[in-house]
């Protein structure tokens, strides 16, 4: 039903709240990419069956929406159930996750065969199923709120993720969704909206930390009939998935943010550019747009006002550089996604050469709460120069991987140890790679650093889009630098020489180093090239391409020196720097290794210890795999 | 020359979008998801319909990694080699797939057109690293042993 005015929206909110309240129990099955991979669709179906059969328990059912990723999408309409597919809870490693309301029990690593027991115990008797509760250091945690992973977080942007049905607009409306839009349209002028955002000091969450209010102000000032609002959902940084989770778990929040931007700057069309690697996010957004359009929250004369707004979705086609503003708009226009020189800037001539507001997913998702709660409230969270919260994707060698949200200015120690539970397998901590291929690494001495835009800049690192990859003592930093350079080199669009040629040379040198062919001269050349590329490349991708190398060179120089001088990789990661040796005391002289060696690098007399000729050895490991006596070892 | 049905399909897809240049990418994306690759003849055809020259359409299609002018296998396997997966040893996963399929760095599709192997930079499922997808279905926390089981299963399904 189309909402014609403010009163109709408020009425719908009242009704939605009632519907959400009515069931005696709600079963929320996480349907984020992570949990779906663990089989949550099957769990969802199982609960549907159980709920349909059960008559003794008062479970009130809400309408479901057919959905592509469940095999029984078409049948789902016929059920009336309190089982919901929620967005990502963020605790991906423990998935599939199931949360039961109102008791708030959170079950981890649930399997389809556990559903019956959960239903019997928790739904009927309100008792927890002990064995499915999250356990750490001997303590069992019955509710989600008590688990340290969640307890230490401040979830504002991700508040609804995992708590509402991402495919039901009424659930979003019931928890206060679209109140900010309502407030803006009826009680505020566009200038007031821009001012509120400016006062909140919201900074772009895509990496650069540019002031959002200032950006909006500049677009609002442009005298142009056509203006655009563009959302950057091309979250390409390897190791980052915050935006995916927002798009999958709370798509309406982001849409509301875009609409508010449209109202504030006088634009009536919006584009969302989403990576093709995120099919579920694309489907959820499509559903959300269709529902909002049907409800009259998108389209012509929204809520009976003069404000009209439409949103289109563009799928990316696999080019990392499209995360850069001018490349992204070029791609939407149907061109090669290559950045261009600026000025003119995007705010003046962006999409289709019209003034354009370009922000990322998380930035837009911050907007509704700023309008609802006010700029002063927002500034009370986080630090003075970087207010609000930031979502991070915590991954790598850490006990609890997943999506987290903390106030800006939280220390690295708190994130890695309190929320992440420390390094996996209790190996010593080595570094955190922050900001993906454009970022740098933070080391043990940086554990007390407050993560915000300005403090990180001082350390030559950046928040980037928010990927935090924890690395332990077993990670070779030279190899990590090579890995990132390989990534940026692959993704370089080739337009400017410093990036196209420079990253290629840097990669060549790094490949030499991990292959044992580097010299001290290589390190100097890397630094020279790195600085030159940083100073002269055309776009952000090129300017930051050398940062992971420069940062590891600064922090782990001794590791580089080991590689080039001693030809040694102590982590054992760099294959070419390893040596295979035969332990004479264990070798029985059976000659099996020599017979299997593809390059005849092993010599010896039968029944006497054999020897590997290191110069001829190609380090394939065949001898080690074949030795029946365990006499061959790999040394680094 | 392709069969007429290909051109009819292209017409249908163009009809769903429109003939402005900005629809070039969505149109060829849809064509690719229909045929699992982008037949070069259809790219030229679409360029004609959209009133842009062939060279331009070709430059766009070759710029983006997702477009392939070669037919892909029935199972498209994408192994994530993003940071998190890399740190959790995705290289071993890729090597195991090479061993299972006989593919290599330079050979992406098996001769029987069953498997295509691609590496991607991040699938955004870092919490489950290392991951791979088979025709977009995510397989989490992979090990070389699990890769072996997966291929036994896929090959078994084919032999039936």
Of A38, A275, A315, the CB nearest to B29: A315
Chain A: residue whose CA lies nearest to B24? A334
DSSP for chain B? ---HHHHHHHHHHHHHH-SSGGGHHHHHHHHHHHHSS--HHHHHHHHHHHT--HHHHHHHHHHSTT--SSPPPSEEEEEE-SHHHHHTTHHHHHHHHHHHH---SS--B-TTS-EEEEEES--S-GGG-S-EEETTEEE-S--HHHHHHHHHHHHHHHH-
A436 lies within 8 A of chain B by CB: yes
A96 lies within 8 A of chain B by CB: no
Of A37, A335, A471, the CB nearest to B125: A37
pLDDT for the residue A66: 23
pLDDT for the residue A87: 64
Chain A residues whose beta carbon lies within 8 Å of the beta carbon of residue B136:
279
**Cβ distance of A467 and B64 shorter than 8 Å:** no
Chain B residues whose beta carbon lies within 8 Å of the beta carbon of residue A403:
127
Chain A: residue whose CA lies nearest to B130? A396
**Cβ distance of A493 and B67 shorter than 8 Å:** no
A371: pLDDT confidence band, cut at 50, 70 and 90? very high
**Cβ distance of B63 and A467 shorter than 8 Å:** no
Residue A60 has pLDDT above 60, yes or no: no
Q: What tokens were used for A544?
A: 């930051």
Higher pLDDT residue, B133 or A83?
A: B133
**Cβ distance of B128 and A34 shorter than 8 Å:** yes
Chain A residues whose beta carbon lies within 8 Å of the beta carbon of residue B87:
396-397, 469, 471, 475, 480
| First and final C-alpha spacing in chain B | 34
Q: Looking at A65-79, A88-102, A387-401, A595-609, which range is the least confident one?
A: A65-79
How many angstroms separate the Cα of B30 from the Cα of each of A252, A278, A311, A433, B56? 26, 16, 20, 37, 19
A54: pLDDT confidence band, cut at 50, 70 and 90? low
pLDDT tens-place string over residues A597-613: 888 999 999 999 999 99
Of A337, A475, A490, the CB nearest to B87: A475
Residue A83 has pLDDT above 90, yes or no: no
Q: Looking at A89-98, A305-314, A388-397, A433-442, which range is the least confident one?
A: A89-98
A469 lies within 8 A of chain B by CB: yes
Chain A residues whose beta carbon lies within 8 Å of the beta carbon of residue B124:
33, 235, 240-241, 244, 275, 277-278
pLDDT for the residue B36: 87
Chain B residues whose beta carbon lies within 8 Å of the beta carbon of residue A275:
124
Q: What is the ipTM of this complex?
A: 0.85
- Stretch A491-503: mean pLDDT, rounded? 95
Match 């057109």 to its residue by tokens.
Answer: B113
A255 lies within 8 A of chain B by CB: no
**Cβ distance of B127 and A331 shorter than 8 Å:** no
**Most confident among A35-39, A46-50, A135-139, B18-22 (mean pLDDT):** B18-22
- Provide the phi-psi class of A201: left if phi over 0, else alpha when psi is between -120 and 50, else beta: left
Indicate the angle between helix axes A361-373 and A251-265, nearest 10 degrees: 70
**Cβ distance of B88 and A334 shorter than 8 Å:** no
Contacts of B105 (CB under 8 A, 6+ apart): none
**Cβ distance of A396 and B29 shorter than 8 Å:** no
Q: How many Cα atoms within 13 Å fall on the side-chain side of residue A630?
A: 0
Of A91, A335, A436, the CB nearest to B83: A436
CB pairs under 8 A between A and B: 139
pLDDT tens-place string over residues A181-193: 999 999 999 999 9
pLDDT tens-place string over residues A238-280: 778 899 989 999 999 999 999 999 999 999 999 999 998 888 8
């Amino acid at each position: 039903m189309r909402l014609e005015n403010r009163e109709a929206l408020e009425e719908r909110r009242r009704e939605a709240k009632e519907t959400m309240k009515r069931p005696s129990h709600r079963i929320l099955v996480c349907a984020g990419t992570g949990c779906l991979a663990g089989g949550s669709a099957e769990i969802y179906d199982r609960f549907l069956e159980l709920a349909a059969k059960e008559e003794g328990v008062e479970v009130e059912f809400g309408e479901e929406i057919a959905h592509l990723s469940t095999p029984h999408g078409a049948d789902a309409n016929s059920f009336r159930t309190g089982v919901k597919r929620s967005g990502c809870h963020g605790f991906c490693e423990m998935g599939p996750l199931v949360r039961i309301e109102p008791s708030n029990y959170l079950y981890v690593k649930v399997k389809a065969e556990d559903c019956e027991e959960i239903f019997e115990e928790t739904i009927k008797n309100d008792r927890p199923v002990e064995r499915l509760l999250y356990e750490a250091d001997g303590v069992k945690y019955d509710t989600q709120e008590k688990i340290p992973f969640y307890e230490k977080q401040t979830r504002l942007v991700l508040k609804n993720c995992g708590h509402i049905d991402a495919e039901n607009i009424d659930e979003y409306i019931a928890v206060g969704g679209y109140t900010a839009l309502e407030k803006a349209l009826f009680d505020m002028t566009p200038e007031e909206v821009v001012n509120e955002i400016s006062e909140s000091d919201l900074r772009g969450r895509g990496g650069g930390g540019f002031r959002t209010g200032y950006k909006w102000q500049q677009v609002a000032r442009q005298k142009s009939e056509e203006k655009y609002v563009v959302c950057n959902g091309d979250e390409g940084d390897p190791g980052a998935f915050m935006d995916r989770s927002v798009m999958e778990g709370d798509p309406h929040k982001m849409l509301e943010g875009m609409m508010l931007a449209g109202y504030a700057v006088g634009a009536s069309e919006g584009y969302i550019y989403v990576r093709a690697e995120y099919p579920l996010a694309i489907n959820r957004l499509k559903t959300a747009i269709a529902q909002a359009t049907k409800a009259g929250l998108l389209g012509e004369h929204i809520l009976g006002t003069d404000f009209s707004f439409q949103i289109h979705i563009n799928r990316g086609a696999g080019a990392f550089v499209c995360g850069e503003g001018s490349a992204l708009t070029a791609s939407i226009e149907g061109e090669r996604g290559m950045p261009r020189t600026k000025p003119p800037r995007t705010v003046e001539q962006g999409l289709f050469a019209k003034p354009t507001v370009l922000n990322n997913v998380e930035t837009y998702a911050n907007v509704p709460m700023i309008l609802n709660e006010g700029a002063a409230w927002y500034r009370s969270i986080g630090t003075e120069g970087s207010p609000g919260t930031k979502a991070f994707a915590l991954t790598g060698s850490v006990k609890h991987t997943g999506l987290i949200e903390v106030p800006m200015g939280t220390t690295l120690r708190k994130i890695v140890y309190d929320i992440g539970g420390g390094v996996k397998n209790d190996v010593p901590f080595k570094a955190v790679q922050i900001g993906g291929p454009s970022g740098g690494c933070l080391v043990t001495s940086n554990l007390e650093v407050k993560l915000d835009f300005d403090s990180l800049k001082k350390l030559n690192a950046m928040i980037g889009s928010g990927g935090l990859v924890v690395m332990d003592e077993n990670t070779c930093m030279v190899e990590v630098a090579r890995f990132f350079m390989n990534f940026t080199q692959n993704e370089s669009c080739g337009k400017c020489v410093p990036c196209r040629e420079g990253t290629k040379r840097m990669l060549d040198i790094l490949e030499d180093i991990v292959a044992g062919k580097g010299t001290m001269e290589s390190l100097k050349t890397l630094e020279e090239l790195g600085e030159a590329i940083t100073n002269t490349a055309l776009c952000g991708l090129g300017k930051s391409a050398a940062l992971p190398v420069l940062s590891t060179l600064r922090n782990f120089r001794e590791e580089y020196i080991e590689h080039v001088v001693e030809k040694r990789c102590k982590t054992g990661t760099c294959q070419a720097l390893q040596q295979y040796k035969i332990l004479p005391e264990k070798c029985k002289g059976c000659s099996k290794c020599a017979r299997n060696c593809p390059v005849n690098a092993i010599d010896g007399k039968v029944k006497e210890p054999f020897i590997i000729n290191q110069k001829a050895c190609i380090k394939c490991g065949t001898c080690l795999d074949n030795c029946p006596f365990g006499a061959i070892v790999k040394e680094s | 020359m392709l069969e007429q049905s290909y051109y009819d399909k292209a017409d249908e897809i163009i009809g769903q979008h429109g003939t402005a240049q900005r629809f070039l990418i969505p149109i060829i994306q849809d064509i690719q998801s229909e045929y699992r690759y982008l037949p070069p003849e259809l790219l030229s055809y679409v360029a004609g319909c959209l009133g842009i020259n062939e060279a331009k359409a070709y430059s766009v299609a070759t710029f983006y990694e997702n477009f392939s002018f070669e037919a892909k296998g029935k199972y498209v396997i994408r192994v994530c080699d993003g940071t998190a997966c890399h740190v959790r040893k995705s290289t071993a996963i890729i090597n195991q797939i090479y061993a299972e399929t006989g593919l290599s760095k330079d050979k992406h599709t098996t001769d029987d057109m069953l498997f295509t192997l691609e590496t991607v930079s991040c699938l955004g499922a870092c919490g489950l690293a290392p991951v791979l997808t088979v025709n977009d279905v995510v397989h989490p926390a992979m090990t070389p042993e699990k890769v072996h089981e997966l291929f036994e299963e896929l090959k078994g399904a084919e032999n039936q």
